[in-house]
């Protein structure tokens, strides 16, 4: 890791705790807005439920996809520290504007300002979301066995802090918004952001910082171009014709650098590391024609994660929320209970049987989360069908605002299962994209893992539109204004089927996935010799 300061006092939990506080505050602010946004759109702005759901999904989608751009700028030019400071400042200004739009600005103009402020917050999310987590994980030295073990546990406690912030907002701020005023609720969120910025700056001298290495996408494009230019090369892959780049020069010195071990997947890219006659006569090397082995393997890491990422777009259902918003706090409570139990009890017990440092692999953890997400849809469908039957029995079909005599605890199982699903899948996905991405692209990896939620939100919009289009031709809409004549249970069953198909694809891809292996360059040469004996030419 290229650390700006080599002081041993920097990094570790002493530094990470300040960054975690930033994430807690950000989650508090985000969910203090997002969890009750649909209520504001329907009750205050008088939008239809389906239209409000689409607006919420669009905003969530933009907020989740925007981090890809923010991560690119952080990894390429500004660094994570500066990006975080800038994004918190923008976040605060956006929240202040949002507060003014619901309290002081006249209603007609206030509605325009409200939506402008919403998307200013999306821009701030773009800088903060991918960088805060990655910057916190950077505080743990990957070259120290003790800190490697701590870092695995860090992702669990990091997510616990996120959920604590989100749950506190869902249970507290939402109550203030519904019972006292939207201006007060949003004003509290702005105040929390100021506190988080101050606390983050207080810990400045404790942080390990990585200097931005330049555009990581250049490396990816160089490998693809170099491999394409040598598609006709048929040299045997051996140590004499393979380009190791700067690693080989360092190997002749006093240290042996860590490199990514060679894999046999995507072998067409290996042509980029072969030194042919033109490369041998060209000094200095042409990076668009000859790439190092480590560079090629890092590009393979990125390409291997793309299909896996596409199969974890599982959150296409939960974003269609039905009030009241505070019920979502049950999800957070489930996670607050599940994560410590997972980290302190499940992992040590599983470790004894599997021998894996984390108890189970990251892909297994994500797979369990996907199974639980299917179960969420099934339980939701059954509970909604139960609610509709009760409404019919009490002649409440045409009274959508009447209270159905059904205890709220019927909703408890689906929220608890959803919490467990997030504890497995979300944390696993974050850890996977941090560990498997090249070091200089880790912010982009974090942004990619988060963007699946955004893509899921856009897909949710599409499914809602399709459901409305088809069901409107055959009677009552599944997602109609009268929730007692609607059929949310059918909608949940559709999501359950789609999620099951998605799980099948995930299992196929996960079984073929190869984890990143890091070793000394001498070890890589041994692997090359083995590959040459078993594969010949490439």
pTM listed for this prediction? 0.64
Q: What is the pLDDT of residue 145?
A: 65
pLDDT at residue 206 above 60?
Answer: yes
Please give the backbone phi and psi of residue 238, each rounded to the nearest 5 degrees, phi first: -135, 175
Is pLDDT larger for residue 273 or for residue 214? Answer: 273
Nearest partner of 37 among 316, 328, 317, judged by Cα:
328
Contact 11, 140 (CB under 8 A): yes
Structural tokens at position 532:
């040459």
Query: Mean pLDDT across the chain, nearest whole number?
Result: 78
The helix/strand/coil state of 520 is strand
Q: How confident is the model at residue 259 (pLDDT cuts 50, 70, 90)?
A: low
pLDDT band at 86 (very low <50, low <70, confident <90, very high): very high
Task: Work out whether strand 518-520 and strand 258-260 pair parallel, antiparallel, or are unpaired.
Answer: antiparallel
465-491 average pLDDT score: 74
* Cα–Cα distance, 123 to 58 (Å, whole number): 14
- What the chain holds in terms of domains, given with CATH numbers, is 10-212 (1.20.1250.20), 216-291 (no CATH), 306-515 (1.20.1250.20)
Indicate the DSSP class of residue 262.
P
What number is the average pLDDT over the span 320-348? 70
Most confident of 215-224, 315-324, 361-370: 361-370
How far apart CA 442 and CA 450 sit, in angstroms, is 12
List, in order, residues 6 or more apart from 349 with CB less than 8 Å away. Answer: 359
């Amino acid at each position: 890791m290229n650390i700006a300061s080599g002081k041993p006092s920097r990094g570790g939990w002493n530094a990470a705790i300040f960054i975690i506080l930033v994430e807690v505050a950000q989650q508090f602010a985000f969910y203090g807005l997002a969890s009750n946004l649909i209520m504001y759109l329907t009750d205050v702005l008088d939008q239809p439920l389906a239209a409000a759901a689409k607006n919420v999904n669009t905003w969530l989608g933009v907020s989740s996809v925007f981090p890809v751009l923010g991560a690119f700028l952080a990894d390429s030019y500004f660094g994570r520290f500066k990006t975080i400071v800038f994004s918190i400042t923008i976040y605060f200004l956006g929240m202040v504007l949002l507060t003014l739009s619901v309290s002081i600005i006249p209603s007609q103009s206030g509605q325009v300002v409200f939506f402008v402020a919403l998307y200013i917050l999306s821009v701030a999310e773009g800088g903060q979301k991918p960088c805060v987590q990655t910057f916190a994980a950077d505080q743990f030295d990957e070259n120290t066995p003790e800190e490697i073990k701590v870092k695995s546990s860090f992702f669990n406690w990091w997510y616990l802090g996120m959920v604590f912030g989100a749950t506190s907002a869902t249970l507290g701020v939402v109550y203030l918004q519904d019972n006292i005023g939207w201006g007060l609720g949003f004003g509290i969120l702005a105040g929390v952001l100021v506190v988080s910025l101050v606390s983050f700056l207080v810990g400045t001298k404790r942080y390990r910082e990585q200097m931005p290495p330049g555009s990581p996408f250049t490396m990816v494009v160089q490998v693809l171009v170099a491999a394409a230019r040598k598609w006709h090369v048929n040299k045997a892959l051996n140590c004499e014709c393979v380009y190791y780049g700067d690693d080989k020069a360092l190997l002749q010195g006093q240290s042996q650098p860590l490199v990514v071990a060679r894999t046999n997947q995507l072998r067409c890219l290996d042509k980029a590391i072969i030194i042919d006659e033109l490369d041998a006569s060209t000094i200095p090397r042409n990076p668009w024609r000859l790439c190092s082995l480590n560079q090629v393997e890092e590009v393979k890491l990125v390409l291997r994660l793309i299909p896996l990422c596409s199969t974890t777009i599982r959150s296409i259902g939960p974003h269609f929320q039905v009030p009241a918003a505070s019920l979502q706090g049950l999800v957070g409570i489930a996670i607050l209970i599940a994560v410590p139990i997972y980290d302190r009890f499940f992992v040590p017990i599983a470790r004894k049987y599997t021998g894996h440092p984390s108890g189970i692999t990251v892909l297994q953890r994500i797979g369990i989360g996907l199974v639980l997400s299917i179960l969420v849809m099934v339980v939701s469908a059954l509970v909604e069908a139960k609610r509709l039957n009760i409404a019919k029995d009490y002649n409440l079909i045409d009274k959508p605002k009447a209270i159905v005599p059904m205890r709220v605890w019927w909703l408890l199982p689906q929220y608890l299962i959803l919490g467990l699903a997030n504890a497995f899948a979300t944390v696993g996905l974050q850890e996977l994209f941090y560990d498997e991405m090249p070091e200089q692209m880790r912010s982009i990896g974090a942004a990619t893992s988060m963007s699946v939620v955004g893509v899921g939100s856009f897909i949710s919009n599409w499914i809602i539109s399709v459901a409305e289009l088809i069901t409107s031709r055959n009677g009552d809409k599944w997602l109609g204004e009268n929730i007692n004549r609607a059929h949310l249970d059918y909608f949940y069953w559709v999501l359950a089927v789609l999620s099951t198909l998605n799980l099948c694809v995930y299992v196929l891809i996960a079984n073929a996935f190869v984890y990143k292996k890091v070793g000394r360059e001498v070890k890589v040469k041994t692997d090359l010799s083995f590959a040459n004996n078993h594969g010949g030419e490439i």
